[in-house]
Amino acid sequence: MRLSWNPSFFGHFYADRKPFYEADEDYLVEYRARLKVAAEGIDVTVIVPEGSTSLDFKYDSYENYFGLERKYRENAEFVDSEQLDLLREAARSRQVYM
């Protein structure tokens, strides 16, 4: 649901690149509308970085919700190297984003 954040957050926990923020773009309108339909009837709270909000759902900051300070870690610190190699191979054929 990171695309329902404001600003929007792009990237994946397993990716080789650091996640990044970008202003909410028009192309996300349809995606956000589908998220709202999929979440209908579900009590959703989106956990966002400090200073971010959610445009469509209740939200709380990571720091407040978990009572912890957010800390960035590289993917190799918690994803097995064999799995990262497989993900990188898949990325070369555009099956995943790294």
pLDDT of 25 reads: 61
For the chain, which residues make up each domain, given as ranges? 2-92
pLDDT of 70 reads: 85
Kindly report, residue by residue over 67-83, the tens digit of the pLDDT: 999 888 899 999 999 99
Residue tagged 């028009």 (tokens): 26
pLDDT of 12 reads: 78
Q: Are strands 58-61 and 45-48 parallel, antiparallel or unpaired?
A: parallel
Kindly report, residue by residue over 8-62, the tens digit of the pLDDT: 667 777 888 887 777 656 657 787 888 899 999 999 998 888 888 888 899 999 9
